[in-house]
Structure 1
Amino acid sequence: MNYSDTLNWMFSKLPMYQRQGKTAFKKDLTNIKALLLELGNPEKKIQTIHIAGTNGKGSTSHLLASVLQEQGYKVGLYTSPHLKDFTERIRINGKPMRKNCVINFVKKNNEFLEKQNLSFFEMTVGMAFYQFAKKKVDIAIIETGLGGRLDSTNVIEPLISVITNIGMDHTQFLGDSLAEIAVEKAGIIKKNTPIIIGEKQEETTPIFMEIAQKNNAPIYFASDLVNENYESDLKGIYQKNNVKTARQTLEILRKDKGFTVSDKSILNGFKNVVKNTDLKGRWQLLMDKPKVICDTAHNKEGLFYVITQLQNEIFDKLHIVLGVVNDKNLDSILPIFPKNAIYYFCKPNIPRGLDANILAYKALEYNLKGAIFDSTKIA
């Protein structure tokens, strides 16, 4: 079994949320606990920081990893989904997991994975913990997939828990209000474990305060506590919030958890996130002439920041390549998009992708006009 065969087996045999949506979503932790037991409970052999939130959890994870790498630590980083290759999900000091390690893990465990009916995400979480324990990382940054309380990553006892913010996304799983979603995300708050909240929001703050108090968990609101402005190579305007969240997390890590984190490492880590971690898709400049920007914003709150920043750009013509998945509320996101752009509507190359004709027809209701293409690549 080579790498291509291994990926084909994983994608075909294991239900995957990014491709199939809700049919791949598991509502309990039974499977992941069974897998970790089979693997010798690697999650108990590593120190972790656990990060949840509607937006910014990926960027915050990479910011933290970058700083800790600058300090000289061996840092594991688990994020999802991947953009180009599966190995992006599991990194140590910025380098993706080796393909032969993926092959060996699947070859060794495929019978158990099928027998236990694990999802794709459950398998990747187990693989990440196994790899981080095997390679003896000093600390691992673990990003949740969806939600918090029932997310497969929520089997760890982290040094610090982090919730970046709460927005209206994945409502079919997490609830129809910010308060309901906050309760699900707050499921990562553990007893006697510091919890960092990135953004203070009127609807969610009382919920976080109450759950933290019940768990005797010290709670910190980064938006209130961090006043400094830091330079970063992440140029999206929305990154200011993520930098503050990472900064407060690092303060607790060095003050209360015995980690050495110098001010110099913080400055250099924030300046060199892309270099240190190879983060992609966050206001990423793909080309300068003509200027081409790529961003993975995928909900109303994230898109608002991206479109705001776009409107501040100087341009003669604005071209937007746009594709969405079929569970997005188009009536909530399409009004955000500028009407003075030329649109290239396409369908993401996954089963969940929304037909480009449907997207274009709906976009016309908001006076967004353009052409329809068979694929993102052609668009």
Structure 2
Amino acid sequence: MSQDTKSHSLQSSLKEWLCYLEHLHSQEIELGLSRIGQVASHLNIDFSFAKVITVAGTNGKGTSCAFLENALLGQGKSVAVYSSPHIERFNERLRINKVDSDDQAFIRAFVEIEQARGDISLSYYEFTTLAAFLVLMAQKPDVIILEVGLGGRLDATNIIDADIAVITTVDLDHQAFLGDTRDAIGYEKAGIMRANTPVVVGDKNPPQSLLDYGNSLNADMYLREKNFFVSADESKQDSTGHWQWRHERQVLPDLTLPFIPQDNVATALMVLSLLNLELSGEQVNGLIDKTRVPGRTEIFHGQSDIMLDVGHNPQAARYLANVLAKKRRQPGYTRVLAVVSMLVDKDIVNTLEPLAGSIDSWYLGTLEGPRAATAEQIAQALAADDENINCFDNVTQAFKMACNNAKATDLILVFGSFFTVAEIRRLLV
């Protein structure tokens, strides 16, 4: 949208609007609820018609939301999920009953926000979050699942009081905004809690700051390893990997291995129990089979198998290392070739370190944009032999070379950023 075009035009395309919003605010990320809260008040944002679940966490937000979505849809509820960032299309950020919102719904919301905000400057994320809220108010689904974008306490989604808060995991990421310790980050994520309201914590060892925050509010906390548990099914001695989930009212034995992290399934099951939705083992196994999320250990089969994962922090890398260890055993990949590109503000050294023993060759590319780490910067973070590291101008070049060098028994792993996965996934879908 050019500067001489009225920003509040219904005739402007979604692409033009998004371009305008990218340049509207002085900072790409500015945490805080004051500005968005004022505009939300002008717009009379109100979700009293729906049950609201807000999901925060370092990792596992998107997969937990997807499992909850599938379970609630299966019960005949209308369900909306708001998440960010998107992988391929902006419209992915808001889906209602598994259908992405269309361009015109967003454009109408943008126009309303532009007229309501006056002189208040909003970041791209704040503006688009408010737009999603307006679309939700028009559609009025039974359940709204909000995935927190960054942190929790000061994230734009936190202007909404949730009926149930969920914190999947707490680990190091976005330290420039959230602090450089688990305690500091835990405090920020705990900010989505509300007084006398249920909160489900999926982290097996939550930081004390999070527990203290919940206790100060008298929040109704449901903690992993205290209120709900995961264990192997001792009655199964075969190699199927069956497991069980339990809390004080229900035991679900004989669950199959999920395509998403098992811990996130466990956390979601606790949320469903609080919603008085108690499923049978057969129903849960059906949901496990159905819940597969793009860009989360997503497999594409071809001349060589390709796995895409948006993991971009040390905790996600540790999970990936465990997945690769299993993949080497079954189906028995001979080598793993990693295609990696990351943002320079991420903890590159500690993200790559857990995977060092799992990767046979590295293919490093440079993403577009000012936040991108160069392939050479990523290479410096690797403690590997020079002959196993290959640097390229962009991710697509790195991927194509990995494909050329891969054999049928090799696995190509693409990870490091949502942007990395988005660039490669376009070539595969």
- TM-score normalised by L of structure 2: 0.78
Q: Is the 8 A contact 1:320 1:344 kept in 2?
A: yes
Q: Distance in 1 between matches of 2:229 and 2:71?
A: 17
**Residue in 2 that maps onto 1:211:** 213
1:35 Cα deviation from its structure 2 partner: 2.3
SS of equivalent to 1:73: coil
| Greater shift in the superposed pair: 53-62 or 285-294 | 285-294
1:60 Cα deviation from its structure 2 partner: 0.7
Q: Distance in 1 between matches of 2:46 and 2:144?
A: 12
Residue by residue over 1:258-296, the C-alpha shift from the partner in whole angstroms, topping out at 9 and shown as x without a partner, is: xx564365443333124xxxx311110122441100011
Q: Distance in 2 between matches of 1:125 and 1:372?
A: 37
Identify which of 286, 297, 310 aligns with 1:283. Answer: 297
Q: Is the 8 A contact 1:232 1:272 kept in 2?
A: no
Q: Is the 8 A contact 1:148 1:154 kept in 2?
A: yes
Residue by residue over 1:37-58, the C-alpha shift from the partner in whole angstroms, topping out at 9 and shown as x without a partner, is: 2322134443201111111111
SS of equivalent to 1:184: helix
Q: Is the 8 A contact 2:109 2:135 kept in 1?
A: no
Q: Is the 8 A contact 2:49 2:142 kept in 1?
A: no
Judging changes above 3 Å, is the alpha-carbon distance between structure 1 residues 335 and 119 closer, same or farther for their aligned structure 2 residues? same
Q: Distance in 2 between matches of 1:108 and 1:178?
A: 39
1:241 counterpart letter in structure 2:
D
Q: Distance in 2 between matches of 1:95 and 1:231?
A: 29
Q: Distance in 2 between matches of 1:136 and 1:233?
A: 34
| Greater shift in the superposed pair: 177-186 or 340-349 | 340-349
**Residue in 1 that maps onto 2:222:** 220
Q: Is the 8 A contact 2:129 2:157 kept in 1?
A: yes
Which structure dedicates a bigger proportion of its chain to strand?
Answer: 2
Matches within 5 A, 1:41-56: 41-56=45-60
Matches within 5 A, 1:97-246: 97-110=101-114, 112=116, 115-201=119-205, 204=207, 206-224=208-226, 225-227=228-230, 228=244, 231=255, 234-236=258-260, 239-246=261-268
2:315 counterpart letter in structure 1:
E
Identify which of 16, 19, 26 aligns with 1:8. Answer: 19
Q: Distance in 1 between matches of 2:325 and 2:303?
A: 18
Judging changes above 3 Å, is the alpha-carbon distance between structure 1 residues 129 and 232 closer, same or farther for their aligned structure 2 residues? farther
- Name the structure, 1 or 2, with higher relative contact order (CA <8 Å, separation 6+): 1
Identify which of 279, 293, 304 aligns with 2:307. Answer: 293
Judging changes above 3 Å, is the alpha-carbon distance between structure 1 residues 194 and 108 closer, same or farther for their aligned structure 2 residues? closer
| Greater shift in the superposed pair: 95-104 or 132-141 | 95-104
1:247 Cα deviation from its structure 2 partner: 0.3
**Residue in 1 that maps onto 2:91:** 87
Q: Distance in 2 between matches of 1:12 and 1:265?
A: 47
Aligned length: 358
Q: Distance in 2 between matches of 1:273 and 1:5?
A: 34
Matches within 5 A, 1:264-343: 266-274=284-292, 279-312=293-326, 313=328, 314-338=332-356, 340-343=359-362
Instruction: Mark the runs of 5 or more structure 2 residues left unpaired by the alignment.
Output: 1-11, 231-243, 246-253, 399-429
SS of equivalent to 1:24: coil
Identity %: 27
Q: Distance in 2 between matches of 1:101 and 1:329?
A: 37
Q: Distance in 1 between matches of 2:46 and 2:210?
A: 29
1:36 Cα deviation from its structure 2 partner: 1.3
Q: Distance in 1 between matches of 2:229 and 2:354?
A: 30
| Greater shift in the superposed pair: 290-299 or 115-124 | 115-124
**Residue in 2 that maps onto 1:377:** 396
Which structure dedicates a bigger proportion of its chain to helix?
Answer: 1
SS of equivalent to 1:226: strand
1:235 counterpart letter in structure 2:
F
Instruction: Mark the runs of 5 or more structure 1 residues left unpaired by the alignment.
Output: 16-22, 255-259
Judging changes above 3 Å, is the alpha-carbon distance between structure 1 residues 11 and 248 closer, same or farther for their aligned structure 2 residues? same
1:358 counterpart letter in structure 2:
Q
Q: Is the 8 A contact 1:68 1:261 kept in 2?
A: no
Q: Is the 8 A contact 2:106 2:132 kept in 1?
A: no
Q: Distance in 2 between matches of 1:265 and 1:12?
A: 47
Q: Distance in 2 between matches of 1:307 and 1:287?
A: 20
SS of equivalent to 1:374: coil
Judging changes above 3 Å, is the alpha-carbon distance between structure 1 residues 75 and 154 closer, same or farther for their aligned structure 2 residues? same
1:158 Cα deviation from its structure 2 partner: 1.2
1:217 counterpart letter in structure 2:
A
**Residue in 2 that maps onto 1:346:** 365
Q: Is the 8 A contact 1:46 1:133 kept in 2?
A: no
1:199 Cα deviation from its structure 2 partner: 1.9
Q: Distance in 1 between matches of 2:118 and 2:373?
A: 29
SS of equivalent to 2:144: strand
- Note the aligned Cα RMSD (angstroms): 2.2
Residue by residue over 1:187-210, the C-alpha shift from the partner in whole angstroms, topping out at 9 and shown as x without a partner, is: 111011011110221x61x33333
Select the structure of larger CA radius of gyration. Answer: 2
| Greater shift in the superposed pair: 282-291 or 321-330 | 282-291
- TM-score normalised by L of structure 1: 0.87
